[in-house]
Amino acid sequence: MGLRKHGGTGAEDAVPAESYTDLNARIIDQWIDDGWQWGTPISHERYEAALAGDWSMALTTTREVPRNWFFPDMRGKRVLGLAAGGGQQMPIFAAMGAACTVLDYSEKQIASERLVAEREGYEIRCVRADMTRPLPFEDEAFDLIFHPVSNCYIEEVLPVWRECFRVLAPGGRLLAGLDNGFNYVVDDGEERIVHGLPFNPLRDPSLIPEGELADWGMQFSHTLDEQIRGQIQAGFRLLDLYEDTNGEGRLHELGIPTFWATCAEK
Percent of the chain with pLDDT over 70: 93
Count Cβ atoms below 10 Å from residue 229 Cβ, excluding itself: 14
pLDDT for the residue 11: 44
The pLDDT mean for the chain works out to 93
* pLDDT above 90: residue 80: yes
Residue 111 φ/ψ, nearest 5 degrees = -60, -35
CA 170 to chain centre: 22
Strand partners, 123: none
116-174 pLDDT, tens digit each: 999 999 999 999 999 999 999 999 999 999 999 999 999 999 999 999 999 999 999 99
Contact 110, 116 (CB under 8 A): no
Predicted confidence band of residue 210 (pLDDT cuts 50, 70, 90): confident
Find the mean pLDDT for residues 12-39.
82
212-256 pLDDT, tens digit each: 899 999 999 999 999 999 999 999 999 999 999 999 999 999 999
Count Cβ atoms below 10 Å from residue 107 Cβ, excluding itself: 18
* pLDDT above 90: residue 3: no
